């Protein structure tokens, strides 16, 4: 979530959670791959031309700022160095001849944030894998060609506006077809472009990032029905809820005292806690500038406002992170520091729990440890919400998704920020453009298929076009998305594989921007959520 006017939280270019997608290993027979009948008699080898980039960009078609360098390299004398732009992923592609009904393994060495490796036009499930590491690491993925597939297009690219990435030693292992490998003829349309409106479109065959279904382990892949595997936490909240973030700072929106937050909000996330000099520990102080602008707002006033919200049946949680919140819980000591300091703040102010909005990376293991310890201190009424960026919930291999799964037993709701994202794959593998019903519902499908209960999944959207850099939708779109997910009505082109009537609700950034926009979100989405069965 952003602290500054019109500064989208997703645009913190170096703050995506580090993810290394896993891949299924191919069976090996002797020195080659175990192939289907279609390729059983073909010689197996590396089919990529100039995969080591020792001959410059020969054999590749690239977009944006791309070149080759002599350092850093993984091996040989050259490597690809590509710098994405605001509207370009700096992609290099190569079309390779293959055999139908045949298994292939794609691998390559990469470094940088973020680097994607995959293939398109396989005739089956197009593979994609990615990483975000500062040193050389190998990406691996596999696929089987379709019955009529004779060529595939390999690609490597970064992510919009991220730093330079490097790639080397890209290989496609398997039997070759009859044609000579050639560069792709249409590299410029290979990746979806970021969009601030719903007017952009993306081809369903595109694959900008790892498919939601390419990485989950069997233990994290329940049926599409999203059947419950653990009971919902007993928080005293209604079946469907509206969540809003209250800004403890002035960024040009409408300033509010907590008592002024619209009554439609069931959960109010106070934004934000601050980091301290002790790793993992957090603190909270009312912003003096905001207090002055409000005509004087003291700790005592704030505590009284929290108590009044409690009396009205509302929950107030303390949000950690946000665009500028560099809170790191990466060890057992940090986890203890977090749980201890958070518990003191909960006791001091009367917070009902914690909201996790970490946009500076998350360690699922130790953050989960900290949250479980904190919940044990607070008790069964503990409210745990999360607001990850869209890319953080793109795959169960992601650290944020892993955190959600690791805390599923105490998790109230994950309201992913469905904005500032550009185009992304839905649970059906197709790319949908932000700012649409399809984008929201296809992403929610990914979360539920990945292992979260429907009652733990909500929709996160900006309250106005000023509150984010892109992806704003009006209240009608939000209501249609909720109705589609719950009843199967008012869907777009994407229709979820099941109905999820317990879908939790919706969230917005922020109550302040909502007030600035005439309370459109709280009035209209709030009324819809209250009317859901």
Integer Cα distance of 58 and 24 in angstroms: 30
Q: How many CB atoms lie within 10 A of CB 74?
A: 18
Integer Cα distance of 305 and 301 in angstroms: 6
Q: How many CB atoms lie within 10 A of CB 268?
A: 26
Handedness of CA 408, 411, 412, 417 (dihedral sign): negative
DSSP, residue by residue, 299-348: HHHHHHHHHHHHHTT-EEEEEEEETT------SHHHHHHHHHHHHHHHHH
- Does residue 279 have a cis peptide bond before it, meaning omega lies within 30 degrees of 0? no
CB within 8 Å of 357: residues ≥ 6 apart: 1, 269, 271, 272, 319, 320, 321, 322, 325, 386, 387, 388
* H/E stretch holding 400: helix 399-406
Integer Cα distance of 140 and 462 in angstroms: 36
What does the DSSP 8-state code read for residue 523? I
Where does residue 86 fall: left (phi above 0), alpha (psi -120 to 50 degrees), or beta otherwise? alpha
Integer Cα distance of 114 and 13 in angstroms: 10
> Which residue numbers are catalytic?
359
Dihedral of CA atoms 23, 27, 29, 32 in degrees, nearest 10, equals -30
**Phi, psi (5° rounding) for residue 319?**
-90, 135
CA 125 from centroid of its chain's CA atoms: 21
């Amino acid at each position: 979530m952003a602290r500054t006017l019109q500064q989208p939280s997703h645009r913190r270019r170096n703050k995506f959670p580090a993810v290394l997608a896993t891949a299924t290993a191919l069976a090996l027979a002797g020195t080659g791959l175990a192939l289907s009948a279609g390729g059983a008699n073909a010689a197996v080898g590396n089919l990529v031309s100039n995969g080591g980039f020792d001959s410059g960009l020969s054999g590749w078609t690239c977009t944006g700022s791309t070149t080759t360098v002599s350092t850093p390299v993984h091996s040989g004398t050259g490597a690809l160095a590509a710098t994405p732009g605001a509207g370009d992923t700096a992609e290099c592609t190569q079309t390779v001849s293959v055999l139908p009904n045949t298994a292939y393994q794609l691998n390559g060495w990469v470094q940088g944030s973020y680097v994607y490796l995959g293939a398109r036009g396989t005739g089956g499930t197009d593979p994609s894998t990615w990483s975000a590491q500062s040193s050389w690491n190998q990406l691996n993925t596999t696929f089987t060609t379709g019955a009529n597939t004779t060529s595939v297009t390999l690609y490597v690219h970064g992510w919009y506006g991220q730093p330079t990435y490097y790639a080397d030693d890209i290989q496609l292992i398997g039997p070759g077809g009859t044609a000579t490998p050639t560069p792709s003829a249409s590299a410029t349309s290979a990746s979806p472009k970021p969009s601030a409106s719903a007017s952009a479109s993306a081809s369903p065959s595109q694959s900008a990032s790892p498919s939601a279904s390419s990485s989950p382990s069997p233990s994290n892949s329940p049926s599409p029905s999203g059947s419950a595997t653990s009971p919902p936490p007993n928080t005293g909240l209604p079946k469907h809820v509206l969540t809003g973030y209250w800004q403890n700072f002035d960024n040009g929106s409408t300033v509010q005292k907590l008592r002024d937050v619209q009554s439609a909000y069931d959960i109010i996330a106070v934004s934000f806690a601050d980091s301290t000099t002790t790793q993992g520990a957090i603190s909270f102080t009312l912003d003096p500038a905001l207090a002055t602008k409000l005509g004087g707002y003291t700790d005592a006033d704030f505590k009284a406002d929290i108590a009044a919200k409690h009396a009205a049946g509302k929950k107030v949680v303390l949000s950690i992170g946000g665009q500028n919140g560099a809170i790191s819980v990466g060890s057992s000591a940090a986890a203890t520091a977090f749980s201890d300091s958070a518990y003191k703040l909960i006791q001091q102010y009367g917070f009902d729990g914690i909201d996790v909005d970490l946009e500076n990376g998350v360690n699922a293991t130790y953050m989960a440890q900290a949250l479980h310890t904190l919940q044990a201190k607070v008790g069964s009424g503990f409210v745990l919400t999360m607001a990850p960026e869209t890319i953080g919930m793109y795959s169960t291999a992601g650290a944020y998704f892993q955190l959600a799964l690791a805390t599923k037993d105490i998790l109230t709701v994950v309201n992913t920020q469905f904005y500032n994202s550009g185009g992304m794959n839905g649970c059906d593998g197709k790319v949908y453009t932000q700012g649409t019903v399809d984008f929201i519902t296809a992403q929610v499908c990914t979360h539920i298929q990945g292992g979260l209960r429907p009652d733990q999944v909500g929709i996160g959207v900006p309250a106005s076009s000023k509150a984010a850099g892109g992806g704003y939708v009006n209240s009608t779109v939000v209501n249609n998305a909720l109705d589609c997910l719950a009843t199967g009505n008012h869907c777009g082109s994407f229709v979820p594989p099941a109905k999820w009537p317990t879908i939790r609700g919706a969230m917005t950034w922020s109550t302040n921007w909502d007030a600035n926009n005439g309370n459109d979100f709280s009035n209209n989405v709030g009324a819809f959520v209250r009317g859901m069965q």
